[in-house]
Structure 1
Amino acid sequence: MRKVVHSPLCRRIITTQTITSEYLVDKTDCDPSKIEFIYGGVFNSRVDFIFDRDKKLYGRDKETIDICFVAHRYSDDFTQKGYDQFVEIARALATDERFRFHVVGDYTPQDIPLGQAEALITFYGAQKSKFFDTFYPNMDIILSPNHPAGAGRGAFDGFPTGSCMEAGFRGVVNFITDPLALNAAFYDGEDIMIINRDVEQTIARIRALVADPGRLYTLARANELAFRRVFDIDRQLKSRTGVIVDELLRDECLVVRPSALMSSLDTAEVVAARMAADHARQTIEQLTSLLNESNRYGEERHDNLFREYEKLSLFYESWSKNNPSQTEINHPRKKSLTLRSAFLSFTSRILRRLLRILSRDLK
C-alpha cells in the first residue's frame, strides 16, 4: 500500500469513509492533498418509491409495528452484524403485541434461543434485490447494531450499511450503531437514530418513538429524504467523475517506463547467441527478398522478349503473304536466300544478344 500511494503514477485517491482517509495518512504517510473524501457509496437511489403512495403506516394500513434485521452472515460470530442484540431486543419487546420482527439473511431460528419472540419472528432467508421493493415499504424500523470487533483485523462495515441504505430509500427508520464514528452527514434523532451496544437504552428509544406514530413517520420521511440527498447516485458519480476529469486535464510531464531489467538467466553468452540468431534470421529474410525480386525481374524480361519476338513473326507472316515476289534475296555465299531465312537469322542474333544481356543482369 505504501508503494502505491507514494508512486508518482498514483495522483489521487478517492475514499468513502473517514477511517480509510485516516488510515492512509497515519499508516502510509500519504500526502493528505492526494486524498479526495467523498462520503457514501454508489448505490441505486432511483428506487420506485413515493412515501405518500407506497409507505404502509401503522394504524392506517396495518395493525403491527414491524422491525427488521437484514444482513449477510459471514461467520458464527453473531455480534459482528449485531444479530445477538436484535434477538435480545425482540425478546424484550415480545410482550407488546403490536411488534413483529423480520430477519432477512442466512440466519435460522436455531442460531440463538428466541424465547417469547419465536412466534413473532419471520425468517426469509437470503433474498435478491427485487424482494425488497415490496418488503421495505411494510417495515417501520431497521435495526443494525453491527460491531467491528468480530470481523477480523482491519475489517469494518461502512456507515450506513448497504442494507440500511436500501431501507432508508424506502422510508424505513435506521436504528444503527456507529462504533467507529463514521457518520459524516446525518443527525441523531432528526433523520436517523444512532444507537450503541446498550440493549436497554436501545429498547427505551424504540418504545419512545413508536409511542408517537406521527413522530415515527416524520422521522421515517426525513430519513428517506436525507439518504436520497446524500447517496443520490448522480451526485456520487458526478463527484467521482470530477476528480478523474481534473486529473486527466492536468498538465504533467510524460512518464516514460524504464526498460525491463535483464533476467539473471540472461548471461552474456546467451545474449550473444540470441543476437547472432536474430542477425542470421534478418539476413535470410533479406536474401529471400532479393531472390524473389530477381526471379520476378527475370520473368518480366523473358515475357517481354517473347512478346516482341511474336510481334516480329506475325509481321513477317503478314508481309510475306502480301509480297510473294519479294521472298527471295541475294546472298554472297548463296545465290538465293528466302526472306524468311534471312529474317530468322536476324532475329536469332538479336535473341542471343538479349539473352546475354538478361543473363548478365540476373547475375
Structure 2
Amino acid sequence: MPYLEKNKTDFIFTLYPGGGFNTKDESSLQKLKKVLTSPFFKGVIVTQEFTRNFIIEKLDCPQNKIHYIFGGIIPQNSIDIKRERVYKKEDSLNICFCSAKYMAQGLDKGYDIFIDVAKMLLKNNYNVKFSVIGGFDQDEIPLGEYSKNFIFYGYKKYNELSEIFLEQDIIISPNRPFVLNDGSFDGFPLGAVVEAALNGVIPILTDELQQNSHFTDNEMIIIKPEAEAIFHSIEGLIKNEKIVHLMSNNIQSKSKKIYSHENQLNQRLKILDIYI
C-alpha cells in the first residue's frame, strides 16, 4: 500500500479465503478496510460468494468494484490428465484425505470425521482402503486394528499429487468453518479437492457457508460434517459402480472447464481491460 499510494498507482487485487483474511480479527479487518478505501483501489476479485457478501455488508465495499469469479488460479498439472482407473465392485474402493495440519486432530479440516467414517466402513467389512496425504500420521488418532488399511504419504509436492489421486475413487473433505479460530474459513472446494477432482476423484465434502455455485449432485456429494451421513453416502457408491464411474467422469470434466487457465485467466483479463 505505501508503494502504490506513493506512486499513485491504481490497483486491482484478488481476495482469497485463508491467509490473513479473518472475518473476526480486528487487525485483519482494519488492513482490509484500508485497502478497500484507498483512492487508488479500482476493484477486487472475489472467488466466493461469502467473501463478496462479507465485504459489502461489513466493510461497505461498493458493489460495482467487486468482480466475482468462482475458483482460482491453480497449477495446470492435471488439466489434460486421462484417468484409466475404473472402479469395480470386486475391487477395493479407494478413499483419501488430503490436508496440511493446522491444529490437533485436524478438526478444522475434518480429519477426525474422516477417521470415524473409515472405522465405520471397516467395521461393516466393506472392501475399502484409505490414503492420507499431508500432515497426519497413524498416531494422530489411534487406528487400532484398522491401521493395516491405511497408507500415510506425508506432505507431497503439488506435482506429486496426481500419481496418488489417479488411484483414488473418493476424497473426503468435511472441513468446518470458524474452528481453527473464530473468524477463519476455507474456500470451496479446498485446493487439494480441486486437484483430486481434476484427476477424476469424487469429492464428498461440506459447504457450511453455502459457497458452491457451480457443481451439481451428479459431480460431487455435499453433506453435513457428520460421519454417519458420509458413511451412508459411501455405502451407496460402493453398491453402484456405474454411478462411481459416471460421477468420476462428470467431476473431472466440470473441473477442467472451471479451473483451466483459459477460463480463469480470460475472465481476469477482461476485468483488467476495463480499467487499462
Q: Contact 2:205 / 2:223 at 8 angstroms: preserved in 1?
A: yes
Partners of 1:207 and 1:97 lie apart in 2 by 9
Opposite residue 206 of structure 1, the aligned amino acid is I
* 1:226 and 2:257 matched: no
* 1:4 and 2:40 matched: no
- Paired residue secondary structure (1:146): coil
* 1:242 and 2:270 matched: yes
* 1:156 and 2:185 matched: yes
Q: Tell me: CA distance 1:194–1:48, structure 2 relative to 1, closer, same or farther (3 Å).
A: closer
Which consecutive residues of structure 2, in runs of 5 or more, have no partner in the other structure?
1-31
Alignment of 1:102-251 (within 5 A): 102-188=131-217, 190-248=218-276
- Deviation at residue 89 of structure 1 after TM alignment: 0.4
Alignment of 1:5-84 (within 5 A): 5-45=36-76, 47=78, 49-51=80-82, 54-59=83-88, 63-84=91-112
TM-score (norm 2): 0.84
Partner residue, 2:7: none
Bigger radius of gyration among the two:
1
Partner residue, 1:358: none
Partners of 2:154 and 2:141 lie apart in 1 by 15
Partners of 2:105 and 2:128 lie apart in 1 by 26
Q: Tell me: CA distance 1:48–1:8, structure 2 relative to 1, closer, same or farther (3 Å).
A: closer
Q: Contact 1:176 / 1:194 at 8 angstroms: preserved in 2?
A: yes
Q: Tell me: CA distance 1:46–1:121, structure 2 relative to 1, closer, same or farther (3 Å).
A: closer
- Deviation at residue 55 of structure 1 after TM alignment: 2.4
Q: Contact 2:43 / 2:67 at 8 angstroms: preserved in 1?
A: yes
Q: Which moves more between the two structures, 214-223 or 39-48?
A: 39-48
Percent identity for Structure 1 against Structure 2: 30
Structure 1 or 2: more strand by fraction:
2
Partner residue, 2:117: 89
Partners of 1:237 and 1:150 lie apart in 2 by 32
**CA deviation string 1:129-188 (max 9, x = no partner):** 232232111100000001123221321111001000000001100111111111011112
Opposite residue 18 of structure 1, the aligned amino acid is E
**CA deviation string 1:228-278 (max 9, x = no partner):** 111222210111111112111xxxxxxxxxxxxxxxxxxxxxxxxxxxxxx
Opposite residue 4 of structure 1, the aligned amino acid is V
Partners of 2:57 and 2:243 lie apart in 1 by 42
Q: Tell me: CA distance 1:149–1:77, structure 2 relative to 1, closer, same or farther (3 Å).
A: farther
Opposite residue 65 of structure 2, the aligned amino acid is K
Q: Considering only aligned residues, what root-mean-square deviation do their CA atoms show, in Å? A: 1.7
Partners of 2:79 and 2:208 lie apart in 1 by 32
Partner residue, 2:16: none
Corresponding residue pairs, total: 244
Partners of 1:158 and 1:48 lie apart in 2 by 20
Q: Tell me: CA distance 1:48–1:246, structure 2 relative to 1, closer, same or farther (3 Å).
A: closer
> Equivalent of 1:98, from 110, 127, 149?
127
- Deviation at residue 46 of structure 1 after TM alignment: 5.2
Partners of 1:74 and 1:205 lie apart in 2 by 27
- Deviation at residue 120 of structure 1 after TM alignment: 0.4
Opposite residue 63 of structure 2, the aligned amino acid is P
Partners of 1:105 and 1:154 lie apart in 2 by 24
Partner residue, 1:303: none
- Deviation at residue 6 of structure 1 after TM alignment: 2.5
Partners of 1:184 and 1:246 lie apart in 2 by 25
Alignment of 1:263-342 (within 5 A): none
Which consecutive residues of structure 1, in runs of 5 or more, have no partner in the other structure?
249-363
- Deviation at residue 25 of structure 1 after TM alignment: 0.6
- Deviation at residue 48 of structure 1 after TM alignment: 6.2
